[in-house]
Amino acid sequence: MDQVYLKTFADVQAALDNYVGPPNNFQIGSAPHAVFWHKGASQEEQYQYFVTGEAITGYKILEVGNGADSNIINALQGTGAFSGGYPPQMAPGGPYMDQAIIDALSAWISAGAKQFG
């Protein structure tokens, strides 16, 4: 796969939507976190939740400026707390997100997780 760039939160939402399917029902199978990147009534609320909230209790979604150690990256790669047992690598049993997209998401987080490019 070619190099992937995510410059805005809208790009991040689109990448996650492409991975799990359209966000029309805000639930992903039996996942307790649902489509958390769309949580909120406005784009601003969704962004604020994504950069400050928890997808599952006790697991902050990301650490602005530190993509490599952010829970969303660990969840998608099956690393850190997501390296076995609970919580599992996302999506449980696969298919797993393409590493180029994970790397782009990590780079976006490390670059400050800006809402707008």
Q: What distance in Å separates the CA atoms of residue 36 and residue 105, rounded to the nearest whole number?
A: 15
Q: What pLDDT, in 10s, does the model give residues 23-81? A: 665 556 556 678 899 889 999 999 999 999 998 889 999 999 999 999 999 999 999 99
Query: Rounded to 5 degrees, what angle do the CA atoms 82, 84, 89 make?
Result: 45
Residue 70 structure tokens: 């952010």
Kindly report the pTM of this predicted structure.
Answer: 0.90
CB count in 10 Å sphere of residue 25:
9
Domain ranges of the chain: 9-110
